[in-house]
Structure 1
Amino acid sequence: MFSFLNIFRITALLEGVSYILLLFIATPVKYMLHDPQYVKMLGMPHGILFMGYVIMAFMLKKDMNWNTKQFAEVLLASIIPFGTFYIDKKYLKSLKNG
């Protein structure tokens, strides 16, 4: 059985991977090889994962007892490459959950 925290962790992982693929593979292919196919293919899933990450972060804020600085860090991580991996390691991985 998955807890909401585990679902958030999975979403954060997928959002981070999709962002890295979009930034470091799809975008260079689009501009260097003039092939927007990969950006089109990865753009929508990444956008959905990004929105899911942000919404779930708001939903978890109270349960996780994040102060304003920590919450801002969690949100900022979604727009920084590899940021969601950092948040997982710093705030989420060490927690015991069901």
Structure 2
Amino acid sequence: MSPRILFRSVAIAEAITWALLITGMLLKYVLNVGDAGVRVGGFVHGLVFIAFGMTAVLLAVNQHWGPRLAALAVVTAIIPFGTIPLDRGLEKRGLLDGDWRSTRTDDPRDQTRVSALLRWMLARPALFTTVLVLGLVAIMTTLLAVGPPGGAS
């Protein structure tokens, strides 16, 4: 899967889970039909929100985005449906072009330890996937232990 397809897929999934969460909130707070929609929508959205942040950081390293663009990409997920215009803008600017940087080039940005780690992990896809999934689970578990935003309602 190319960097572009991965980013677009997770960006779309993030927007869809925003719709699920907002629908759950409307069901709970407007129609007063219970909080199951918020619980399910919130959990799924939380997972995909974290996955989007991880994907944005991964793409930032692979595509050699600067720290400002990487931070903007992560923050965009906070805005409902914000990942879609971000994806379109990155596409228009050619910032999703190219393949995974699995080999070192003469580009000075490929000489960093982070780029070397990315190449090492890309050469071990099963390990890389496992590390990403375990990271996602660890973050989600920590956030669930802390509790929902704004406290329990």
The TM-score by the shorter chain falls in which range?
0.7 to 0.9
Alignment partners' CA distance in 2, 1:20 and 1:49: 12
Q: Whose relative contact order is higher, 1 or 2, with alpha carbons under 8 Å and at least 6 apart?
A: 1
Retained in 1: the 8 A contact 2:14–2:81? no
Alignment partners' CA distance in 2, 1:36 and 1:9: 30
Alignment partners' CA distance in 2, 1:61 and 1:76: 13
Letter of the 2:29 partner, please give it.
Answer: Y
Q: 1:54, CA displacement in angstroms?
A: 0.7
Structure 1 unaligned regions, length at least 5? none
Q: 1:97, CA displacement in angstroms?
A: 4.4
Retained in 2: the 8 A contact 1:30–1:39? yes
Q: 1:30, CA displacement in angstroms?
A: 0.7
Count residues with an aligned counterpart.
Answer: 96
Q: TM-score, normalised by structure 1?
A: 0.82
| Structure whose alpha-carbon radius of gyration is higher | 2
Which is worse superposed, 82-91 or 41-50?
A: 41-50
Answering whether residue 42 of structure 2 is matched by residue 49 of structure 1, we say no
Partner of 2:26: 28
Cα root mean square deviation, aligned? 1.9
Measured against aligned partners, the alpha-carbon deviations of 1:21-41 in whole angstroms (never above 9, x if no partner) come to 312x21121112222121122
Richer in helix (by share): 1
Retained in 2: the 8 A contact 1:14–1:49? yes
Measured against aligned partners, the alpha-carbon deviations of 1:52-87 in whole angstroms (never above 9, x if no partner) come to 111111111122221222112101110001210011
Alignment partners' CA distance in 2, 1:82 and 1:44: 17
Identity of aligned residues (%): 29
Which is worse superposed, 40-49 or 9-18?
A: 40-49
Letter of the 2:75 partner, please give it.
Answer: L
- Tell me, what secondary structure is at the counterpart of 2:20? helix
Alignment partners' CA distance in 1, 2:88 and 2:75: 15
Structure 2 unaligned regions, length at least 5? 100-153
The runs of 4+ residues in structure 1 deviating greater than 2 Å are 92-98
Q: TM-score, normalised by structure 2?
A: 0.56
